[in-house]
Homo-oligomer: A and B are copies of this chain.
Amino acid sequence: MRPLDATAERRARRQLSEARAAIDPVLRTAVSGLTEPLDLMAGYHFGWCDPEGTAVTGVQGKALRPALTFAAATACGGDPGKSVHAAAAVELLHNFSLVHDDVMDCDAFRHGRPTVWRVWGETTATLLGDALQAVALGALCDGVPETVTAEAVIRLTRATVDLCHGQYADCDFETRAAVTVDEYLGMAAGKTGALLGCACALGALCAGADERVVSAMHTFGAELGLVFQLVDDFIDIWGDPEVTGKPAYSDLIHRKQSFPVVCALESGTAAGRELARLYRTRHPLTTARAARAAELVERAGGKQRTLRRASTALEAAFAALPGDLVSDDLTALAQLVAHRDH
């Protein structure tokens, strides 16, 4: 992979903050259609307020998906203002899945704060997720051009179904001793690829692009989603906890079938076999054992294979785009995804 140069990084970070600012009013209007306590819960989840409703300036999501929608629209020669509802819809949909995933995965913290289900309980959190899915589709239809409304909704609902399948596979993996690389890639395509693909496709669609371009943009985003997921897996093991803000080896401690682990387990090496023995226990691993697991994953080739697969996916993303669509904005965002350290 090409190293991330400072200009590309500045450009990408500017896109993220501009996207966040652009969708903010649409998100707030959409959420205001909820009533108590779902509106408050949504505001808390989005980092706008504390659980009592007092405004805070907390940590918010990266807004990568809306930034991709805008960048895709611009690359297709469209006015990014016309895709603001699509960008907001994708972000709302993403947050529906986060709220539900936190319940399913029993994740207690997000951006350093207790997750919604920890504050309001599982039932109410499930209802917030349900409502956010609806609000996402409503926001989409409230603003995209009439001629593409049906296709936009169909694309976003397909991405939602794929997300559900990806999350199902991810949960299912935790009950299994072994997962193949293909199974992992299918899971990642659903869990991360589908919505990044949809984010890009909707940008193109709102810009009036033809079916071929919309589909190419979808592939670009889907491959970039795979890069995103692989980098996520990578930094869990080899990232700096000071930078990621997450505890070290979280995936290994929970015996997750992340890509480096899947590769190591099927490597046929002595290190892979030792890792399999470590993973065979039912309990979470201690930090010391997780550190040993990390060493074994690397020795079994899991680190190198993850970097190579991410690199292949990044190339596939750009190979999917007709040359005239490879904009500086899309390139900068893709580089940021590939090189992010948190």
Could you tell me which A residues sit within 8 Å of B by CB distance?
33-35, 37-38, 96, 100, 103-104, 123-124, 126-131, 133-135, 137-138, 140-142, 146-147, 149-151, 153-154, 157-158, 160-161, 163-165, 167-168, 171
A and B contact pairs by CB, cutoff 8 A, 29 listed: A33-B161, A38-B164, A38-B168, A100-B127, A100-B130, A104-B127, A123-B171, A127-B168, A130-B130, A130-B133, A130-B160, A130-B163, A131-B161, A133-B160, A134-B157, A134-B161, A135-B161, A137-B137, A137-B153, A138-B157, A138-B158, A141-B149, A141-B150, A141-B153, A141-B157, A142-B150, A146-B147, A149-B150, A153-B153
Which of B149, B151, B167 lies in contact with A127, CB distance below 8 A? B167
Residues of chain B with a CB closer than 8 A to A134's CB: 133, 157-158, 160-161, 164
Contacting pair A103 B126 (CB below 8 A) = yes
Extra contacts, 7 of them, besides A124-B168, A138-B154, A141-B151 (Cβ < 8 A), are A38-B168, A104-B123, A123-B171, A129-B130, A131-B161, A133-B160, A137-B157
Residues of chain B with a CB closer than 8 A to A165's CB: 34-35, 38, 131
Contacting pair A142 B130 (CB below 8 A) = no
The residue of chain B having its C-beta at the shortest distance from the C-beta of A130 within the complex is B164
User: Which label, helix, strand, loop or mixed, suits the secondary structure of the A interface?
Assistant: helix
- State whether A135 and B157 are in contact (beta carbons under 8 Å apart), knowing that A35-B165, A127-B167, A168-B127 are contacts in the complex: yes
- State whether A142 and B154 are in contact (beta carbons under 8 Å apart), knowing that A123-B104, A133-B134, A171-B123 are contacts in the complex: yes
Number of copies: 2
Residues of chain B with a CB closer than 8 A to A151's CB: 141
Q: Give, as a whole number of angstroms, the nearest-CB distance from A40 to chain B.
A: 12
Top 5 A-B pairs, shortest CB-CB distance: A134-B160, A138-B157, A134-B157, A141-B150, A131-B164
Residues of chain B with a CB closer than 8 A to A160's CB: 130-131, 133-134
Cα distance A151–B165 when bound, in Å? 29
Residues of chain B with a CB closer than 8 A to A141's CB: 149-151, 153-154, 157
Cα distance A130–B126 when bound, in Å? 10
Cα distance A283–B161 when bound, in Å? 39
The residue of chain B having its C-beta at the shortest distance from the C-beta of A104 within the complex is B123
Residues of chain B with a CB closer than 8 A to A37's CB: 168
Residues of chain B with a CB closer than 8 A to A146's CB: 146-147, 149-150
- State whether A153 and B133 are in contact (beta carbons under 8 Å apart), knowing that A161-B34, A168-B38 are contacts in the complex: no
